[in-house]
């Protein structure tokens, strides 16, 4: 048999011959790596860390939406100074009260209803009149005065004295908060002088001008005021 024929026979007989052994012919050895305790611990830690990161991501996406409806709304803090506007109509709309003994509109927290009623009673008891003019020729009815609509009136010295006396009562009663004018130090000295000398003028002498003012109410009950004294003696 020549060499060429030998090669042909080998090729026919070994058509499925492979340089690598077949899987069912040769079983490869299997190697199993045994983990040390340190490696196992590291694996557990990495798994826990990954799980925590995933949980945090889910919480960040979904949890805020569940909390939003129950969060309180942010609002401006309530004011500490209440005002009464600049007209009687504005004062009424803002809930302010007309205070006869100061001839002014004041916010409700600073209004002492009982003190106001007492001043009206004293004014009527002593028949202390109000006038439209400086000379005291045109008298104004009490009911018109109590509306708080008249921007300017004139009254008598007795009315001025009781105005200052009721200012002192306001401090001692402490039944309502104080306006800035009530805290005004110069106004307090002014009234101290008149209360100390009640008969300086005749009680029916028309020498007091009452200007309608609109006061502020200090809810912090501060001890400094910037109010103006709207009762002013205009002679003597």
DSSP letter, residue 80: S
pLDDT band at 175 (very low <50, low <70, confident <90, very high): confident
pLDDT at residue 145 is higher than 90: yes
Write b or e for each residue in 33-52: b if 16 or more Cβ atoms lie within 10 A of its Cβ, otherwise e. Answer: eeeeeeeeeeeeeeeeeeee
- pLDDT band at residue 58 using 50, 70 and 90 as cut-offs: low
Q: Does position 153 have pLDDT exceeding 70, yes or no?
A: yes
For 13, 84, 191, the CA distances from 25, given in Å and listed in that order, are: 18, 106, 123
pLDDT of residue 13: 46
pLDDT, averaged across the chain? 76
CA pair distance 107, 217, nearest whole angstrom: 6
What pLDDT does residue 22 have? 47
Is residue 71 over pLDDT 60?
A: no
Determine the pLDDT at residue 177.
Answer: 83
Mean pLDDT (whole number) for 152-169: 93
Which segment of 79-93, 102-116, 179-193 scores lowest on mean pLDDT?
Answer: 179-193
The better pLDDT of the pair 140, 16 is held by 140
Pick the more confident residue, 13 or 76. 76
Give percent of the chain above pLDDT 90. Answer: 44
Q: Is the pLDDT of residue 157 over 90?
A: yes
Give the other-Cβ count within 10 Å of 226's Cβ: 10
> For position 40, what pLDDT does the model report?
62
pLDDT at res. 226: 39
| DSSP assignment of 135-172 | TS-SEE-HHHHTTT--SEEEEEHHHHHHHHHHHHHHHH
Among the ranges given (33-47, 60-74, 154-168, 208-222), the one the predictor scored with the smallest mean pLDDT: 60-74
Tell me the whole-structure pTM to 2 decimals.
Answer: 0.61
Helix (H, G, I), strand (E, B), or coil: what is residue 221? Answer: coil
Over residues 94-117, mean pLDDT: 94
Q: For position 184, what pLDDT does the model report?
A: 81
What local confidence, expressed as pLDDT, does residue 219 receive? 83
């Amino acid at each position: 048999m020549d060499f060429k024929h030998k090669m042909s026979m080998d090729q026919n007989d070994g058509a499925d011959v492979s340089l690598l052994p077949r899987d069912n012919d040769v079983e490869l050895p299997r190697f199993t790596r045994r983990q040390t305790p340190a490696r196992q611990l590291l694996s557990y830690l990495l798994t826990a860390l990954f799980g925590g990161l995933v949980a945090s991501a889910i919480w960040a996406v979904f949890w805020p939406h569940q909390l939003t409806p129950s969060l309180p709304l942010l609002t401006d803090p309530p004011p500490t100074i209440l005002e009464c506007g600049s007209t009687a109509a504005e004062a009424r709309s803002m809930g302010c009260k007309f205070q006869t003994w100061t001839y002014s509109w004041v916010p409700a927290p600073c209004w002492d209803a009982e003190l106001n009623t007492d001043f009206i009673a004293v004014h009527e008891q002593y028949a202390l009149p109000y006038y439209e003019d400086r000379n005291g020729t045109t008298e104004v009815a009490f009911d018109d005065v109590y509306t708080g609509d008249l921007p300017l009136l004139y009254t008598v010295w007795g009315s001025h004295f009781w105005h200052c006396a009721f200012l002192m009562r306001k401090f001692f009663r402490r039944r309502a908060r104080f306006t800035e004018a009530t805290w005004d130090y110069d106004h307090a000295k002014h009234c101290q002088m008149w209360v100390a000398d009640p008969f300086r003028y005749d009680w029916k002498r028309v020498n007091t001008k009452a200007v309608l003012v609109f006061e502020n109410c200090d809810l912090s009950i501060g001890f400094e005021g910037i109010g103006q004294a709207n009762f002013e003696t205009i002679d003597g």
